[in-house]
Structure 1
Amino acid sequence: MDGQYSIPNYQREYSWEENEIQDFLNDLEDTCANPSTIHFFGQIVVHNDEDSQTKFIIDGQQRTITSMIFVHSLQLLYENLYFTTQYHPASKKEVLLSNYVGEYSDEEKSLHLILSEADNPYFIQTITARQPSDSKETKKSWERIRKAFKTIYEYLDSHCQDASDTSKKMDCLNRYFEAFFERFKVMYIEATKLEEAFIIFETLNARGKDLETADLLKNFVFSKSKDVDDTQKKWNSIVDNLDKIDTTNYIRHYWNSSHKFIRKNDLYREIVKFIKTPADVSAFLDSLENCSQFYHDIAFPEENVDFTDDKLISCLKNLKILKAKTFYPILLAMKQAKESYSEKDLLTVAETIEVYVFRNFTICGKVANTGERFFSEIALRIYGDLNSVTAICKEIRKSIVPDDEFTAAFNTWSGSNREIIRYILRKINKQLSPTDELNLNNSDVHIEHVMPIENSKWKIPEDTHNEYLWRLGNLTLLSGKLNIQISNEVFPIKVSEYAKSKIDLNKSLCTCSDGTPRTKWIVPDDIDIRQKYFSDYALIIWHIH
């Protein structure tokens, strides 16, 4: 590397995982095994800032860092070969130091690559100093750097350990050295103006095959910004608020909450149409930042920061159990609307969405992706004619499946997703016993199959057993201790334990409809009867109006 290259602080931290490192090593091995081949290693776009005499890597930072990790691995292997055998590979080590790495000590700080502030201290202390840690790092990007070095070093070391003498080990290392430095090729593009570098970056990555929309958009807003430090501060705040949430998914839901519905592949091209000036950048980031914590809280209600209404938190947890995400634009629109909706308002709408999701998708099996456009269209109208909770809920209810379709599907519904089964049975039990304060969320409460999974004692025909095993009418909730004791027993033994349960859901298992004690469980008749009994309550619990 000629001169000093830096990775700007606004660039993402080191992100290559095991798969990318393995791909790199596979490409290296293939190139090493075929001396006539050339490997294209991608592009590097650089902004040559003449004022600071620094070259900032705008695109290609991940492969550049990985290349430097590879170089340091080679350095350490050359050094180890010398210290253990006195075989002197000094020339290769010095070439690596002077041409590709640079020196770093208290006296000499001429490194050719400076990482972002987030990663540079760790990189210098461990990789540059060639003192990699064996302990897992708490910071994710540092752990990726540590694992990348460990994987590359151990790969090279193990492949050269097979060499029978020192000379052959040297030849082995040299082959990797030459394959990488002579036959790994990159497309290097340098611009003296930052705006030009970003235009090149955007052009090369416009199809978004290698980069997420968030990465493209991040570079775009930085290219338009007049205050890079402020832009970086806002972007970092957004990412911090989102925590483990994918930034691109957030931006898409945010955009679809206030604009015409757009799919992920078209998102970047659509957003950049609206951002023309530095003021547009600032307003866009302010709004993104303002909604980011709210979005995190609706996506991860169990970790929410701002919500105080327990019923709202519970409803959002239910929607998460139902794997629902397409509704996010509606709540984001309510967050941004001028009407200043309260948490109670959010709860009313969220409960209506829960009914919609449960009836349409969970029970009736409608394609969940159809909800994306539906919810986005409603979200956009929240800024116009749907300007009240009543209007929003009424519009959602129009598309909820009718009672007859819901009941027919519920009567034969079966599913093996234990979270959803728990959700349904908890709701029904709460309807049976509204004042019951039993904690049915507790992990000590298990899903019990009346007709058990193990069929040896019941001897139900295989086809019937397979069809009815996960039917809702064959399932109940039971304390873990009781469940373990009786899970595969015959019905007379099971029913004696059901009678001890404090969960109201189990009373119908102990008593027939005429009030007499139940002594047998007829499959499939009793399963069908119990499920139809549940469906009557389902219409009350997940009602449309």
Structure 2
Amino acid sequence: MAIIKHAARQTLGQLIGANNPPVEVPDDSQRQYAWGKKEVDTYWSDIQKFMKARQTGSEASTEYFIGPIVTITDDKVTSRSLLDGQQRLTTSTILIAAIRDTLGQMASTEARLMANNIQRDYIARKDGRHSRPQLFLTLSLFDRDFFKDFIQDWNETTGKVVSTEKPTRPSHKLIQDAYSNFQTHITNAIANIPLDDERLDWLDDLKDCLVKGLVFVEIQTPTSSDANEVFETINSRGKDLSTVDLVRNFLMEKSRDDAEKGRVNNAWQALLDRFERREDIEKFLRHFWVSRHGDVRSHSLYTTIRSHLTTRFDEELPRYEVRHFAAELQDASGRYIDLIVSGTDHEPLNGLLDEVRALGADAAYPLLLAVSGKTNYSEMCRVAREILTFYVRWTVVGRRESTLLEEKLFGLAKAVNGGLPLESASRQIRDWIPDDETFRSDFEKAPVPRSTQARYLLTKIEQHLRISAGVDDVVVANTSTVHVEHIYPQSPAPEYRFSEHGTWINRLGNQTLLLGRKNRAASNRTFPDKAAAYESSSLLVTTNTGLSRLWDADNSAWSTQGIVDRQRDLAKIAVEVWPIDTPAESKLF
């Protein structure tokens, strides 16, 4: 049970004001800045509504409760370490800085004085002209320097910030975007106010709404363990805290010394630097865990990790420490990045990884991650090819239960990490793959409504046709200049529309590829109107697979039988494109 020393109402000005203990986000907890445009716009909208309500003078509209924050405080409350509330306090400081800078760029002496007062009272102050600023809010090591230079280190003479630190992480860009967003909102608001004095009043009211009207409940705890427990409880259902943050906080809590905390920070810094999107870090963490321990759902990932690692960390022998887990996580993240961006130095493998990404076959990554730590890239090609065949035959074409495919691949990933030979793993995948007769039957009647999957299937068939015909592969069929074309149109004229339009429109026999800018109007025409475009195409899947069968010339109507016949022919090709047995290397590359 967490110990709470004190819980008290605090305005924003009391939390980050000059006469109060500074707030610092400790390096051993919390995440980087994460609010995007949606959250920032919502925050601004809420402030504007509160500002208008406050102007009515009613007692019920004098304060706006923005939520709890959790701090670790010493006995005399001379310092405060922030465990929860970073996003709200950081965003509030950014908005205050935008107000300061708007005032700082105005011509009047009063405006510049107001700007200087805002800086000194709510952002940072200096004891002397050349002294370092005392910051009222200090972020963690991931964002600290950038936030100081871009927001806090303000020159009262020029009315500008230093801005020497260059953005190097996604969180830095989010800080920049939040500031620009607020500047735009403020500029648009005061553009409708004609007089400078009235503009000053509006900006002063906005500042007062923030520092005097925004109210938090500060929950003060004596130790990081107490704070983490409160922190997890508060954020158990909210967006403000992710699994990645919870895992990092847990590892910090379990670290035995500063060296282990430093090792965790190094691992997290690598994650933040390697991944462009926070969502990719979340996905990596789950796939890393799945590759070692089997399937676990995202919503229970943290509790599973915490329970498992707590047991392992507490075992005497063999000793497994926080630093070991952090090192394993960091090592795996480098290999995982190579997988999701096709960044290996082995071109055949990169091509297969491109296919995994094109299909959105995320279920493949835990097994590929497990295999990447056990063998070389050439051997990985065989496994990747078998996974793709399994995914195409089972899910994309066969439309079988995808969760069962995930369970199979996730369990196999765990087995590979546990020492299962790769030959045995390959044999297991081949046993799961639907046989040729089943695949051909599935393919003959498969609808493929997702254009990305249709593009992938048709592109692979195109490549196979070119290889079989001995034609140089000079056309890249998955470029942005290629589109998926519905032969029988998605929006045909009423007199040409099938009575069961939805049954036939997304059948693969009704889809092909075309190079060039898509002409939507032309796409909805009859076959004779489009025949010239098909005949002049450089893509064999369009010129050599009998598209004309889809048009009944005698009756001037589209033919469902033509779709059936063409798809049956494509099915015969598909069995060769996605074979169960891995072809010899010489035939592939």
Cα distance change, pair 459–440 in 1 and its aligned pair in 2 (3 A): farther
Q: CA deviation at 1:41?
A: 1.8
Query: Which of 250, 273, 293 is the aligned partner of 1:220?
Result: 250
* Deviation, structure 1 residue 391: 2.1
Match of 2:11 in 1: none
Corresponding residue of 2:402: 368
SS of corresponding position for 2:251 = helix
Structure 1 residue 6 corresponds to structure 2 residue 24: yes
CA pair 469-198 structure 1, distance change in 2 beyond 3 A? closer
CA distance in 1, matches of 2:504, 2:228: 59
Q: Take 1:414 and 1:224, find their aligned partners in 2: how far apart are those partners?
A: 52
Instruction: Decide whether the 8 Å contact of 1:4 with 1:113 is kept in 2.
Output: yes
Matched, 1:112 2:127: no
Give the counterpart of 1:420 among 453, 459, 475. Answer: 453
Residue by residue over 1:294-317, the C-alpha shift from the partner in whole angstroms, topping out at 9 and shown as x without a partner, is 11222221xx1x341x33222221
**Structure 2 residue 330 is the aligned partner of structure 1 residue 289:** yes
1:103 and 2:125 aligned: yes
Q: Percent identity?
A: 24
Q: Is the 8 A contact 1:48 1:55 kept in 2?
A: yes
After superposition, where does 1:154-303 map in structure 2 within 5 Å? 154-156=184-186, 158-159=188-189, 169=199, 171-207=201-237, 209-225=239-255, 226=257, 227=259, 228-244=261-277, 246-276=280-310, 277=313, 280-301=321-342
Are residue 535 (structure 1) and residue 571 (structure 2) matched? yes
Amino acid corresponding to residue 57 of structure 1 in structure 2: L
45, 57, 62: which is aligned to 2:82?
57
Q: How has the CA–CA distance of structure 1 residues 534 and 157 changed in structure 2, closer, same or farther, with 3 Å as cutoff?
A: closer
397-406 or 255-264, which moves further after superposition? 397-406
The CA distance in 1 between the partners of 2:81 and 2:254, in whole Å, is 17
Cα distance in 2, alignment partners of residues 119 and 346 from structure 1: 38
How far apart are the structure 2 equivalents of 1:447 and 1:171? Answer: 58
- Return 40-49 or 218-227, whichever deviates more: 40-49
* Structure-1 separation of matches of 2:523 and 2:294: 52
Q: Could you tell which deviates more after superposition, 49-58 or 171-180?
A: 49-58
Deviations 1:191-237 (A, max 9, x none): 45444433443343345653110011112212222223332112212
- 8 Å Cα contact 2:496-2:558 kept in structure 1: no
**Is 1:326 aligned to 2:363, yes or no?**
yes
Report the Cα distance in structure 2 between the residues aligned to 1:88 and 1:394, rounded to whole angstroms: 75
Following the alignment from structure 2 to structure 1, what is the Cα–Cα distance between the partners of residues 448 and 103? 59
Q: Distance in 2 between matches of 1:459 and 1:260?
A: 54
Report SS of the residue matched to 1:382.
Answer: helix
Partner SS state of residue 426, structure 2: helix
Q: Distance in 1 between matches of 2:518 and 2:190?
A: 59
Q: 1:54 to 1:489 in 2, by over 3 A?
A: same
Distance 1:118 1:268, change over 3 A: closer
Distance in structure 1 (CA, Å) of the matches to 2:74 and 2:191: 44
- Structure 2: how far apart are the matches of 1:287 and 1:64? 34
SS at match of 2:134: coil
The 8 Å contact of residues 43 and 186 in structure 1, kept in 2 or not, is answered as: yes
Tell me, yes or no, if the aligned pair for 1:299 and 1:325 is still in contact at 8 Å.
Answer: no
Q: d(CA) in 2 for partners of 1:363 and 1:448? A: 19
Q: Judging changes above 3 Å, is the alpha-carbon distance between structure 1 residues 323 and 160 closer, same or farther for their aligned structure 2 residues?
A: same
Match of 1:313 in 2: 350
Q: Do the aligned partners of 2:496 and 2:557 also contact (CA within 8 Å) in 1?
A: no
Distance in 1 separating the partners of 2:111 and 2:487: 75
Give the letter for the 2:349 counterpart.
L
Please tell me the root mean square deviation across aligned C-alpha atoms, in Å: 3.9
User: Which of 1, 13, 21 is equivalent to 2:40?
Assistant: 21
CA drift at 1:251: 1.0
Counterpart secondary structure, 1:387: coil
**Do the aligned residues in 1 keep the contact of 2:111 with 2:200 (CA within 8 Å)?**
no
Is residue 242–residue 296 contact of structure 1 (8 Å, CA) maintained in 2? yes
Tell me the distance in 2 between the aligned counterparts of 1:6 and 1:315.
46
1:175 and 1:533 mapped to 2: Cα distance? 72
Mapped partners of 1:257, 1:479: distance in 2: 40
- Preserved CA contact (<8 Å) 1:472 1:531: yes
- Residues 482 and 497, structure 1, Cα contact 8 Å, conserved in 2: no
* Contact residue 238 and residue 288 of structure 1 kept, 8 A: no
1:411 aligns with 2:444: yes
The answer to whether the Cα contact below 8 Å between 2:23 and 2:136 also exists between their aligned partners in 1 is yes
CA contact (8 A) 1:133 1:146 kept: no
* Count of paired positions: 526
| Structure 2 unmatched runs, 5+ | 1-16, 315-319, 582-589
Please report how far the alpha carbon of residue 320 of structure 1 lies from its aligned counterpart in structure 2 after TM superposition: 1.5
Q: 2:362 aligns to what SS in structure 1? A: coil
Which segments of 5 or more consecutive residues in structure 1 lack a partner in the other structure? Answer: 513-517
Q: Is the 8 A contact 1:87 1:166 kept in 2?
A: no
Q: Is the 1:202–1:220 contact (alpha carbons within 8 Å) kept by the matching residues of 2?
A: no
AA in 2 matched with 1:127: I
Cα separation, 2, equivalents of 1:67 and 1:530: 61
Q: TM-score, normalised by structure 2?
A: 0.76
C-alpha distance 508-152 of structure 1, shift in aligned 2 (>3 A)? closer
CA distance in 2 between counterparts of 1:487 and 1:238 reads: 45
Partner of 1:351: 385
* Contact 1:4 1:112 (8 Å CA) reproduced: yes
Q: Which residue of 2 aligns with 1:377?
A: 411
Distance 1:232 1:113 in 2: 20
Kindly indicate whether the alpha-carbon contact (under 8 Å) linking 2:291 and 2:417 is maintained by their aligned counterparts in 1.
Answer: no
1:335-350 alignment to 2 at 5 Å?
335-336=372-373, 340-350=374-384
1:131 to 142, 152, 160: 160
Shift of 1:292: 0.8
Paired amino acid for 2:363: T
Matched, 1:436 2:477: no
Contact 2:69-2:216 within 8 A present in 1 as well: yes
2:68 and 2:422 map into 1 onto residues whose CA distance is 51
CA shift for structure 1 position 122: 4.0
Whole-angstrom CA distance in 1 between matches of 2:512 and 2:188: 55
Kept after mapping to 1: 8 A contact 2:356/2:364: no
Instruction: Decide whether aligned partners of structure 1 residues 307 and 93 sit closer, same or farther in structure 2, where only a CA change above 3 A counts.
Output: closer
User: TM-score w.r.t. structure 1 length?
Assistant: 0.82
Instruction: Report the Cα distance in structure 1 between the residues aligned to 2:200 and 2:523, rounded to whole angstroms.
Output: 64
Amino acid corresponding to residue 237 of structure 1 in structure 2? A
1:222 aligned partner, one-letter code: M
Distance 2:79 2:483 in 1: 62
1:474 to 510, 517, 521: 510
Q: State how far apart, in whole Å, the 1-side matches of 2:262 and 2:50 are.
A: 42
C-alpha contact (below 8 Å) 1:41/1:186 kept by paired residues: yes
> Which SS does the other structure have where 2:293 is aligned?
coil
After TM superposition, give the deviation of residue 290 of structure 1 in Å. Answer: 1.3
1:408-467, Cα deviation, whole Å (9 max, x unpaired)? 3322333354432232223323444434332342435554554456756x9633546665
Report the Cα offset of residue 284 of structure 1.
0.9
Q: Indicate how the Cα distance of structure 1 residues 391 and 281 shifts in structure 2: closer, same or farther if over 3 A, else same.
A: same
Change (3 A) 1:146 1:428: closer
Residues 142 and 460 (structure 1), Cα distance of their counterparts in 2 relative to 1, 3 Å cut = same
> Which shifted more, 486-495 or 148-157?
486-495
C-alpha spacing 1:118/1:544, structure 2 compared with 1 (3 Å): closer
In the aligned structure 1, how far is the partner of 2:537 from the partner of 2:197? 76
1:515 paired residue number: none
CA distance 1:50–1:409, shift in 2 (3 Å):
same
